Amino acid sequence: MASHIRITPSILNADLTQINAEIARIASQSDLIHLDVMDNIFVPNFTFDFQAASAIIKACPIGIDAHLMVADVDQIAPAYAELGCESVTIHAEATRDIPGTLRAIRRAGARAGLALKPGTAIEDAAGFVNEVDMFLIMTVEPGFGGQKFMHEMMEKVRKTRAMIGERDIWLQVDGGVSPETICEAAEAGADVFVAGSAVFRAEDPASMIALLRNLAHSVS
C-alpha cells in the first residue's frame, strides 16, 4: 500500500480574480498546486490559456501539478514542463503520440502524468508504464469541480496500484475527493489526492488540507 501521501489542491473552485492570494492561503499545507487547464474542446469548460496559466505558474510559491484537459495536447504539454511545472499530466484520450509526449515532458524536466477519463480502462494504458511518473484516475468526468465522487472507479485504482507494483509511480485521484471519500481512495491504493471544492468551500482551507492528509494517512 502507498506510504507517501500527497495532497494537491485544485484552484478551480478558488476565487480566480485573486488567484495568487488564494494560493497563498494554502501553499504551506499543499504538496503541489493542481492547475486545471481546460480548452472548451476536450472538455465543455474553459479555464486558462497558455499565457494566463504561465502567469500563475511563474508566481506560484510552490510546485505546480498541471492537469491538461485540452485537445491535441502533444505540442503544448512540453511547453508547460519548460515553464517549470513539477508535474505535467496529459489525457490518454487527447494525445496522438502518448509515449512520445510523455518522453518530451520528461526531457523538458517535469514528471510525466497520464490521466484516464472514467470510461478509459487502465489496461489501455498498461503499455506506457515505463514512460509514466504518475497515473491520474479521474473519479468524475473531467470539466467541472463540485461533482460527485465515482465510487465505481476504485476497482480501476486497485488495478492501477497492482500494475505499478514496486515502480516509483504516483497514483492520483481527481474529482469529488473530500473527508467522506478520501479513505476509500487511499484504501484502494491512491497516494496523491486532488481536492477542489472540499478545500475552497471549507471555512479554513489550510485545515481542510491537513484533515484530508490525516485521513489518507490513517488508512495507508
With b for 16 or more beta-carbon neighbours within 10 A and e for fewer, the 97-119 pattern comes to ebeebbebbbebebbbbbbbbee
Q: Which amino acid is at 133?
A: D
| Contact by Cβ (8 Å): 78, 105 | yes
Can residue 36 be called a binding residue for ligand DX5 (CB under 6 A)? yes
Q: Which of 36, 39, 133, 191 is catalytic?
A: 36
CA distances to 11, 67, 99, 142, 197 from 148, rounded to whole Å, are: 18, 19, 31, 12, 11
Known catalytic residue: 97? no
Residues 195-214, mask of contacts with ligand DX5 (x by CB under 6 A):
xxxx----------------
User: Is 168 an active-site residue?
Assistant: no
Q: CB of residue 195 vs ligand DX5: minimum separation in angstroms?
A: 5
The Cα–Cα gap between 69 and 136 comes to 12
Residue 179 φ/ψ, nearest 5 degrees: -60, -25
Please give the biggest Cα pair distance in the chain. Answer: 43
CA–CA gap between residue 170 and residue 208 (Å, rounded): 22
Residue from 113, 176, 189, 205 touching ligand DX5 (CB under 6 A): that is: 176
Residue 175 binds: one of Zn ion, ligand DX5, none (C-beta under 5 to 8 A by kind):
ligand DX5
Nearer to ligand DX5, 12 or 215 (CB): 12
The item of Zn ion, ligand DX5, none sharing an interface with residue 13, based on CB under 5 to 8 Å by kind, is ligand DX5
Is residue 12 at the binding interface for ligand DX5, with CB under 6 A as the rule? yes
Residue choice 67, 91, 111, 156 for contact with ligand DX5 (CB under 6 A): 67
> By the criterion CB under 6 A, which residues form the site for ligand DX5?
10, 12-13, 34, 36, 67, 140, 142-143, 145-147, 174-177, 194-198
> By the criterion CB under 5 A, which residues form the site for Zn ion?
36, 67, 174
